[in-house]
Amino acid sequence: MAGHSHWAGIKHKKALIDNKRGKLWSKLSKQIIIAAQMGGGDPDANVRLRTAIADAKAVSMPKDNITRAIKRGTGELAGGTVEEVIYEGYGPHGVAVMCDIMTDNRNRTAPELRKVFEVNGGKLGATNCVAYMFDRKGLFVLPQSAIEEEQLMEIALEAGAEDVKQGTETFEITCDPEHYSQVSEVLAQAELEITSQQLTRIPTNTVDLDATQATQVLKLLEALDDHDDVQNVSANLNLTDEVVASLED
């Protein structure tokens, strides 16, 4: 899990930059559109929509943007249907990669992602070529300074979390996707500092990389994450604290 949380942290830092240029808001809009398409525009009756709205508000997405996305999802505003698609493949050094996609044009997205894989030393694969290596989970990362471990375990487990793990400087909470919204709301009510939170895919086995190899893989992951249609990138690389330290030097 440590390697996964390092990548989550890298994505969190990128998100702060993406937010400034509107990229993150665009991605969050698609999440809201999809949620409204599937379950209607009432967040009280649509858990997925309520979660998407909470994620959007957490990065100061304007209320008007949220409202427009909901109306587009319910069909009150034109704009076309957004689809959810999963693409998977391999990065350099045999690292398994999964991409959660939301797109209004699958015929455009597929070749663009294939090119991103190829340019960065990877290869887009067939459906289910690596999916068996991942479990879909909610993941919350927060600094150890935010709360005592015993208190956090009590709060998180009562809210439906599956596990709380202590890393070098962080706590990592995992939960079933069905409990993601509930755990998120409870942590927010406790006013805890959250470094990152997301529905993601956690690898069941990992590939150990040295600093040089990690640099090559991270280049691919960041290029994929930068694509407008990519909502989440998961990979089974393992970055030790030593490797992370060398990358930051």
pLDDT for residue 9 is more than 50: yes
Q: What DSSP assignment string belongs to 189-227?
A: HTT---SEEEEEEEESS-EE--HHHHHHHHHHHHHHHTS
Q: Which long-range contacts (CB under 8 A, 24 or more apart) does 92-95 make?
A: 92/120, 92/121, 92/122, 92/213, 92/216, 92/217, 92/220, 93/207, 93/209, 93/213, 93/216, 93/217, 94/207, 95/207, 95/209, 95/217, 95/235, 95/236, 95/237
Helix (H, G, I), strand (E, B) or coil at 243: helix
**CA within 13 Å, CB half, 165:** 14
Q: What is the pLDDT of residue 14?
A: 57
Residues 93 and 51 in one domain: no
Residue type at position 98: M
pLDDT for residue 10 is more than 90: no
Q: How many domains does the chain have?
A: 3
- Opening angle at CA 243, ends 240 and 244, nearest 5: 85
Residues 50 and 94 in one domain: no
pLDDT for residue 164 is more than 50: yes
Q: What is the pLDDT of residue 155?
A: 94
Range from 6-20, 46-60, 146-160 carrying the lowest mean pLDDT? 6-20
Q: What CATH number has the domain bearing residue 33?
A: 1.10.10.200
Beta-carbon contacts of residue 121 (< 8 Å; ≥ 6 apart): 91, 92, 216, 220
Look at residues 40, 56, 74 and tell me which one is the last residue of a structural domain.
74
Q: What is the pLDDT of residue 11?
A: 62
Q: What is the pLDDT of residue 1?
A: 47
Q: What is the pLDDT of residue 181?
A: 84
Residues 100 and 221 in one domain: yes
Range from 21-35, 60-74, 218-232 carrying the lowest mean pLDDT? 21-35
Residues 119 and 147 in one domain: no
Residues 22 and 110 in one domain: no
Out of 9-18, 117-126, 140-149, give the one with best mean pLDDT: 117-126
pLDDT for residue 135 is more than 90: yes
Residues 113 and 146 in one domain: no
Range of the domain at 176: 134-203
Residues 125 and 10 in one domain: no
pLDDT for residue 76 is more than 70: yes
- Asked if the structure places residue 167 within a domain, the reply is yes
Residues 191 and 241 in one domain: no
Q: What CATH number has the domain bearing residue 218?
A: 3.30.70.980
pLDDT for residue 157 is more than 80: yes
pLDDT for residue 133 is more than 90: yes
DSSP secondary structure letter of residue 163: E
- Asked if the structure places residue 123 within a domain, the reply is yes
CB 216 within 8 A of CB 93: yes
pLDDT for residue 216 is more than 50: yes
Q: What is the pLDDT of residue 24?
A: 83
pLDDT for residue 183 is more than 80: yes
Residues 9 and 70 in one domain: yes
- The single residue listed with the structure tokens 């997301």 is 198
Quick one: what percent of the chain has pLDDT higher than 90?
55
pLDDT for residue 206 is more than 70: yes
pLDDT for residue 41 is more than 60: yes
Residues 124 and 208 in one domain: yes
Residues 68 and 10 in one domain: yes
pLDDT band for position 12 (50/70/90)?
low
